[in-house]
Chains A and B, each alone.
Chain A
Amino acid sequence: MKKQIEAKKYGMVIDLDKCTGCGACMAACMSENNVSFRKDESNKLDSITWMRVYKLTNGKEFPEADMCYLPRPCMHCEGEHGHAPCVSVCPATATDYNHETGIVSQIYTRCFGCRYCMAACPYHARYFNWWDPVWPEGMEESLSPNVSSRMRGVVEKCSFCFHRYQLAMNKAYNDGRRELEEQEYQTACTQACPAGAITFGDLNNPNHAVTKIAQPDSKHGGRPKNPNAFRLLERLKTNPKVYYLSSREWVRRAGDNYIENEGKKEIL
C-alpha cells in the first residue's frame, strides 16, 4: 500500500540582521530562471526582479539614521485554504496554489495577460512582460532548459525554483525514495546568499531549519512565535510563507501598517 505522503509547505526565513544588501540573490535568481533584462533597468516599475532587495530606512536624521535591506521573493501566500490573493482572481487559472508543496504556480503559456493578479498582489511580487525578452548576441547560450522562457504579454514571478523541486523529486524517484532531504531542494537565492541570510525548507517539517527558526503557529494563521520574526503585511491575512528575522524593533514594525500608536501586540 502506498504510504500517505504528508503535504509539504515550502517556505523561507530571511535573517535581516545578516542580509548585507549585496544583491547576489537577485542575480542568482535571474541567472537560474532565464529572467530577461533590458538596456535601461533603472525604472524599477517595469524591471523584472523575481527576487527584489528593498532598502528600508528608519526615517531618523543623521547621525541617528539607520537602514536595513529586505529581500522579497514571492510570498507564496496561502491565504485561507490556498486562496492566495492572486490565485483567487486569475480568470484563466494560469496561477494555482499547489496543496502538496504550498507553492503558487504560474503557467506562462496559459496566462493571457489581464494583470488582475498583479492588481491583487500587495507585495508587487508579480511582473509583467511589457516587452519581448531580447538576449544580446551570444547570451542565449547561457539559458537554462529547466525553466521556460517567457514571451511578452504574460505575467511571471518567483516560483521557489520549482524546477529544482521537480529535478530533486526525479532523482529521489530514481533512488526509490518519495521524500526529499532538507538540502536536496534549495532555491537559487538561498544557495547564493554569501551571508547565509536565507533559509529554505518545509514549514510542515519540525526538523527543518525554517520551522525551528520561525516557529509558525498553525492555530493563528501561521504567524511566527519567534518574537524577532515577522511576516510582511501580516494583518492582511495573506498567510505568506516568507518569514523575516530582525533584532531591530523599527524593522519589525516596518513590516506592517499600524494606525498611529497602535501596538503590535494588541492586534494579533
Chain B
Amino acid sequence: MAQPHVIAAPSDAALIAAWQSGDEQAAAELVGRHARALARYLSGAGAPDAEVDDLVQETFIRAFRSVDRFRGQCQFRTWLLTIGGNVLKDYGRRAARRKVVPLDESVRDVAGDPHEQTVASEAEARLAAGLKVLPRLQREVFLLRAQQGLEYQEIAVALATTAGAARVHYHHAVRRLKEMLK
C-alpha cells in the first residue's frame, strides 16, 4: 500500500534562495511565516500599537532588500527581529524629530483603550513600561530570550556579541524588571 505523499514545507533558506532568484511567492511565504512573531517583538520592544503594521512592513522590505547580507549565521527569524529593532530605533528618531513623545519616555495608555484594558493585565502593562526604560541591548536580549525563546548563542550571533555578554545583559534586564514589578 502506498504511503501518503507528504510535501515538506520549504525551509527559510530555500525560500530566501528562491526570492533571490526572483520568486515573489517565496517572499510572500516568508512574510506569512514570520509577520506575527515580528509584530509581537516590535510591540514588546515599545512600538505604538498604531504603528506596528507599518513597522512590520518596513522591516520586511528592508530585510528583503539586504538579504544578500544574510549568510545563515543565525535563523532568518532572529535576523529579521534584529532588523526590526533597527527599524524601531529609526522610527523613534523620526518621532523625536517630529516632536512626538519619544518612544522610550512614553508609557502605553492602557486605561484609555477599552479593548486593551480587558486584554492587558496590570503586570503586563508594567512590564511593557519597564522594558521601555531599559537600555536597548538589555531590552532586545530580554525579548529575544524570554519572549522569543532563543538560545544565548543565537542571540549573540544576531546582536554581534558573545553568548556570555548576552547572558549578562539578560540577567541585568531581569533584575531591573523585577525591581520595577515588585
| Co-complex (A, B) | no
Q: Which residues of A contact B (CB under 8 A)?
A: none
Q: Which residues of B contact A (CB under 8 A)?
A: none
